[in-house]
Structure 1
Amino acid sequence: MTAVAPHRQVDAVVVGAGHNGLVAAAYLAQAGRSVRVVERDTVPGGAVSTIERFPGYRVDRGSSAHLMIRHSPILDELSLAEHGLHYVDCDPWAFSPGTDSSAPIVFRTDLDATCASIERAVGAADADAYRRFVGVWRPRARAVMESFYSSPDPARFATAFSGLTGTATTARTGPIGRRTGAMASLTQELMASGDSLLDRWFTAEPLKAALAWFGAQSGPPMNAPGTAPMIGFAALQHDIPPGRAIGGSGALTAALLRRLAADGGEVLLGHAATAIVPCGDHWRVETDGGPAQCATTIIAACHVLTTMDLLAAGGHDPDTLRRWRSQIVVGDGIGMAVRLGTDALPEYPDLPSDLPAHGVHSGLGLLVTDRAQLRRAHSSASVGELPQRPACVAMGYSAIDPTLAPPGKHLVNVWAQWHPYRLAGGRTWSEAGPEAAAAVVAELDRHAPGFGDRIVHTHVQTPADLEQELGLLGGNIMHVEMSIDQMFFWRPHPDLAAHRVPGADGVLLAGASTHPGGGVTGASGRISARLALRRRR
């Protein structure tokens, strides 16, 4: 670790070495700015990191599949492939198990293959509908994705969708005019719930359940307004599927660190920020791990409530901070993760014979066949109870990346929703964790009989664990709820949506708390870096 002289000023200090903070730092260093990153953890990357949980296993601490950053300009702009980052396509990119009356559905990058699978599973009508669905929602999803990589300006957002009015299923005419009516119709469809979208397009419940569970990965249930685009993102997977970074999710972090070091940037681990303090014409970040760090620009890439604690410690107006806090909805957790070291991968019955050698294990195992299971799980969580049948996503990426497990062994990561951070009846997660993890394993065993007997190692990350280890307050992996009122120009608060802190010129915001939200995007890091470079000019 590089020794740092006390109070040596740099152009920018980034608080938080999650992937958004590192993306911001890498862009600044690439542009010739001196930059230093301070991080409380001794492991860089935050929720995009990989460690040895069990001997010989490389286990992700947070994310596993990278869906969105592969659709961004970041990988090319920072030349991360030249710094060791290599993705393998997840193809199939998802599958859902069969039922008594339907075969499994396998989602391939190739649209024709996917439609053939849907036809085998639930019939030709829904296969044809899915093809039309992708045709309509692919350009919409591209527009949403494009909007993620710019500041959330309402005019820019409207411009991104202005060419898509022809994709609206209805277009009102009359006094407001055909074009305005078409835009109103498109906006209504974008603001619809995911469930209403699915009911409009499809008939078979297994297909609806698979797509609803895919869309629900952002947290909100699919009966909430504004969740239709979350399902629409499925259309983009036929352009570029999710990617698995070879070596684990943390391989993205490792490449960013190498890129940053090559351009002279510094990362100080074990240096928890304690205050962001105005200091003449610059800012001072005080830490409990060493000397204060001074810079003309601060990029706070940690949780927004943590940022407010740092600002409060530096003397920022308490009434303003209190008002912001009162309108930011952290929520009550989303779910939990169970990491399994095994001597075999799950064996799902009735899969087609024309799959690649790795079978379906390259994809998201969407282990839900009925939306009622999703609704029951969410309802249980809303009253502080554990779901009787958790909704699970199983990922067996050791099938496509043998570096993750010892020879002859496998690693299965399971994400399960919904699990509340605050449990009813005064229960603690130290008490409830084993029960919840057993329910997750039982759900895998339901779809892959006998899998539970192949488990050798288990590591459980409850909502409380996610908060303690990764700083995800309230156990919310998205920092702030991804409901429509907490997105775009309202995220995390209208005053803060431009990635700037009013009354603190030079303090910028990044991270999952800000637009465009959680997930592995790097978008907010790129936005904040561009703002910092523009400010210097």
Structure 2
Amino acid sequence: MVGRQPAHLRQRAGRRHEPGPGQALGRYVGLRGSRVRQRHQRGRPAVHGRLPGEREGLRDGQRWALGVQPAHRQLAVRRSVDPAGGGDRSRSRPPAHRQPAALRSPEPRHRRWRRQRLVPEAAVLPARAPRRAHRSALRPSRPIGTPDPRALTTTPDVVVVGGGHNGLVAACYLARAGVDVLVLEALDGPGGGSRTAETVPGYRFDLHSVAHNMINMTDIPAELDLAGAGLVYQEMDPFSVAVHADGRRVRFYRSIDATVASIAEADPVEAAAYRAFMDKAVPVVRTILPALRGQMSAREIPERLGALVGSFRHRPAETARDLLGPYDSLLRRWLPSDLTRGPVAAFAAHAASGPGLPGGSLYAFWQAAYHMFGQWHARGGAQSLVDALVTRLGSLGGELRCGAPVARIEAPNGAVTAVVTEEGERIPTRAVITAIDPKTALLGLLDPPLGGRVGADLAATRRGNVVQALVHVAADRLPPYPGARPGDWNGLQSYVDHLDDLVAAWAAAEAGRLPDPLPLYAFTTSAIDSSLAPPGHHTVYLACPAAPATVEGGWDTRRPELVDRVLATVEERAPGFSAGIQGVHAWTPDLMESTERWPGGHPMHLDLALDQLGPFRPTKALGRHRTPVGGLYVSGAGTNPSGGISASPGRRAAKALLADRW
């Protein structure tokens, strides 16, 4: 079905588009699913017997069929013969002025007429042959400068730079649309921030993301049938437990009623306040959810925010203040004490956003999203999401190549022509999607680099000195919290006792100091997933969300101190835990930067500030994933709508490319 064209491409009000005497529409028939795919015709004349728009080097059976859109008809009906013997198949199209831009021919009318006369309206050519099978993600090492013989056999339509989950999602959507796509990943395996590794022998730990919440608020797993590719999600309920040093416990369940009842065990007044806070937060989450799913444009933001503020008619000014302020002041206004302020702030800091960040109240309001949608763990670790995406990409005919860091993206005349790896291999291509840090991609790899106002705006985007540091602990027991109940190890366990501690920690880390006390939280996913550790043993993932990327004295000297202080904090709240430790691995920002190639060890690439979110991420000019360079698109954690495991940047970038070029 031909969809309605994007708003930014529609004709201005009062101006009627007059179609020319003919409108060319290129199509080819794919064997998979008997889908009729549509491609944008480039207007090239026939050469050596090829039809206009037919590419050189097509495999046997891969051809184009062209139809004609007469100007005098309000609705043109195309009939073609099903190559599988299904008989006549009719497809209707709206008038030319209502077709998406990707399906309208851009060349002058006289060229369209010349091209259309070459092929009869009902001409049908053989269907496209099945695509090549997926090849292994890992490739053998070769001396530097030796070209990969496999790359010499094909020229991909699109190269995706970066094999994290966003790059793989973009590649899956492209391959599903019939595009020849190649993903290049610098590391020896795909995944980026969604990798799982055996950092302690016999124990598998997530290297960054643990809980996959945002992707489960979208329909992407269903669209790509990731469950059919082996992905299984397990709910973490309660999604959080506050483990205070004084022995108090608060359990945050998916059910708001159950959570309020848990808080009331310690303080009924606090319980009533939390319910009122959720009454405020739920409409906020519902308003911003379309932005998370990539369904909100910059033009819609004022209208949606205005409607949200108007929904609280009795206190609209206070609502505006709550939305635009930091979560430090928001939590102090709505929650009476640190009984709930601390754990809610720990979850907000989990988004790599400080308590004093203007507009950061969004991350405290996001607490309601866990009640609405739950918190989810991918069985087998975060890597299972990546494995499912790799499987799906292979089934769609895409290719993933690991151990292939990119040195340069060539765009000599304002349009992409090739990608060059660090080994010197040059891969010609029609388009590129970068799914890495946008600054690195457009100001470092792009040749020549992005310039002008767009380049200056990108260079001015910010990432602070506050990131995350991890300590992986392999143990023969779960942390033995006094008074623990079944399920207390299912989700996040907060060790943040006071909101003031988190405020002080953020300021210290921004200044390059190791905070004291350390704000910490834990995940013990082996409690619900026995595949991560040997029988009877467990993985304890300990995270400090306010660690300095650059620390005084350097991480080589401060890393042992970090480990000792983290383990002491756990022992304080779970006496006897240290006796069961089998191994420890520290994963600090310097190691993340050198291993993952994340500047500053920042997994989100850019700070999640209000002016760097949604259609303003990384900048307003690049918020639609398009760049001023022809055929170059951006995706990844540093692009619209946000960082984290949502997959929306990958899908949005793929759809932008398909709308423009296919």
Fold similarity call, TM over 0.5: yes
Any residues of structure 2 matched to 1:305-324 within 5 Å, and which? 305-312=439-446, 314-317=447-450, 323-324=456-457
Equivalent in the alignment of 1:103: 248
Equivalent in the alignment of 1:253: 386
Identity %: 33
Instruction: Identify the match of residue 519 of structure 1 among 644, 652, 656.
Output: 644
Structure 2 vs 1, CA of residues 162 and 378 (structure 1 numbering), >3 Å: closer, same or farther? closer
Distance 1:244 1:420 in 2: 27
Any residues of structure 2 matched to 1:146-295 within 5 Å, and which? 146-150=290-294, 153-161=297-305, 163-168=307-312, 170-171=314-315, 182=316, 186-278=319-411, 282-289=416-423, 291-295=425-429
Q: Which runs of 5+ in 2 are unaligned?
A: 1-134, 137-148
C-alpha displacement of 1:267: 0.2
Task: Out of 125-134 and 333-342, give the one that drifted further.
Answer: 125-134
Instruction: Identify the match of residue 220 of structure 2 among 70, 74, 80.
Output: 74
C-alpha displacement of 1:163: 4.5
Task: Out of 240-249 and 371-380, give the one that drifted further.
Answer: 371-380
Instruction: Identify the match of residue 525 of structure 2 among 397, 415, 421.
Output: 397
Distance 2:604 2:348 in 1: 14
Distance 2:458 2:362 in 1: 27
**Aligned: 1:386 with 2:511:** no
Structure 2 vs 1, CA of residues 380 and 308 (structure 1 numbering), >3 Å: closer, same or farther? same
Equivalent in the alignment of 1:175: none
Equivalent in the alignment of 1:140: 284
Query: Structure 1, residues 271-304: CA drift from partner, whole Å, max 9, x if none?
Result: 1111111267752111124632232221100111
Q: Which runs of 5+ in 1 are unaligned?
A: 172-181
Asked if the contact 1:303–1:471 (Cα under 8 Å) also holds between the matched residues in 2, the reply is no
Equivalent in the alignment of 1:483: 609
C-alpha displacement of 1:316: 3.2
**Aligned: 1:495 with 2:621:** yes
Query: Structure 1, residues 43-93: CA drift from partner, whole Å, max 9, x if none?
Result: 110110112222222221221111211111111111111110000000010
Structure 2 vs 1, CA of residues 169 and 4 (structure 1 numbering), >3 Å: closer, same or farther? farther
Distance 1:333 1:230 in 2: 16
Structure 2 vs 1, CA of residues 350 and 169 (structure 1 numbering), >3 Å: closer, same or farther? farther
C-alpha displacement of 1:505: 1.8
Query: Structure 1, residues 367-398: CA drift from partner, whole Å, max 9, x if none?
Result: 11211211221122122111122111100000
Partner-residue secondary structure (3-state), 1:418: strand
What TM-score, normalized by structure 2, do the two folds share?
Answer: 0.74
User: Given residue 408 of structure 1, which amino acid in structure 2 is its aligned partner?
Assistant: G
Distance 2:450 2:251 in 1: 54
Equivalent in the alignment of 2:56: none
Asked if the contact 1:190–1:229 (Cα under 8 Å) also holds between the matched residues in 2, the reply is yes
User: Given residue 415 of structure 1, which amino acid in structure 2 is its aligned partner?
Assistant: A
Equivalent in the alignment of 1:414: 542
Structure 2 vs 1, CA of residues 170 and 297 (structure 1 numbering), >3 Å: closer, same or farther? farther
Q: For the aligned residues, what is the CA RMSD? A: 2.1
C-alpha displacement of 1:161: 4.3
C-alpha displacement of 1:99: 4.9
Bigger relative contact order (CA 8 A; separation at least 6):
1
Instruction: Identify the match of residue 460 of structure 1 among 583, 586, 589.
Output: 586
C-alpha displacement of 1:162: 5.3
Equivalent in the alignment of 1:35: 181
Distance 1:513 1:448 in 2: 37
Equivalent in the alignment of 2:166: 20
C-alpha displacement of 1:8: 3.0
Asked if the contact 1:347–1:451 (Cα under 8 Å) also holds between the matched residues in 2, the reply is yes
After superposing on structure 2, the runs of 4+ consecutive aligned residues of structure 1 that deviate more than 6 Å are none
Task: Out of 214-223 and 36-45, give the one that drifted further.
Answer: 214-223
Task: Count the aligned residue pairs.
Answer: 515
C-alpha displacement of 1:310: 4.5
Query: Structure 1, residues 205-257: CA drift from partner, whole Å, max 9, x if none?
Result: 22111111111112222122111111111111112211010001100000000
Equivalent in the alignment of 2:10: none
Task: Out of 314-323 and 41-50, give the one that drifted further.
Answer: 314-323
Distance 1:108 1:292 in 2: 53
What TM-score, normalized by structure 1, do the two folds share?
Answer: 0.91
Asked if the contact 1:57–1:406 (Cα under 8 Å) also holds between the matched residues in 2, the reply is yes
Greater fraction helix: 1
